[in-house]
Every structure is written in C-alpha cells, then in structure tokens.
Amino acid sequence: MIETSTKKKKVGGLGLPAHKHCVICGGVVPPDKNPPVCEGQCEEELIKREKRSKTFNLVWMMMIFGLLALMFISFYVVPR
C-alpha cells in the first residue's frame, strides 16, 4: 500500500475524515478551525451573536447592581 501526503485522519473506523461542524449552519469545517464556523456569512452571524450576548450580560449585571443598591439604600439609609 502506498501512503500519500494527502492521507486524512479517519474518525472511528467510519471512513470519515476528521472534521467539525459549523456552530451556525451545521456545515463541515476543518478540525483545526477555532471557533468552528464557515467563512463569510456564518462568521458575521457569530460576531453579531457574541456582541448581542455581551450586551445582554451587561444589562443584567447593571440591573442586579441597581437592585442591590436599592436594597442597601432602603435598609440602611432610609430612617424607620
């Protein structure tokens, strides 16, 4: 048997080359791609999702700190 430089690593005896799936569309991407997304439209969508997630987390943190501040003010500053 002749081995070539284009030999691909097989997965679990199924005869499939090593690969990952795009987190946006599910398409096949190379195994060394991190994060595993297709080029172009899927990369743009991933950037939008990450930005939306960061904004969402910031809003929640601000709400929690605001509620904690209101609780502090109502218990310790406002006379009874």
pLDDT of residue 1: 41
Does this model's pTM top 0.85? My answer is no
| Domain assignment of residue 5, yes or no | no
pLDDT band, very low/low/confident/very high, at 31 (cuts 50, 70, 90): very high
Q: pLDDT of 32-61, one tens digit each?
A: 999 999 999 999 999 999 999 999 999 999
pLDDT of residue 76: 85
**To the nearest 10°, the Cα dihedral for 46, 52, 58, 64?**
-120
| Domain assignment of residue 6, yes or no | no
Nearest CA to 29 out of 13, 45, 40 is that of 40
Report phi then psi at 72, rounded to 5: -60, -45
pLDDT of residue 80: 64
| Domain around 53 | 13-77
Contacts of 14 (CB under 8 A, 6+ apart): none
How many domains is the chain built from? 1
pLDDT of residue 38: 92
Residue owning tokens 């310790």: 76
Residue 16 is inside which H or E element, if any? strand 16-17
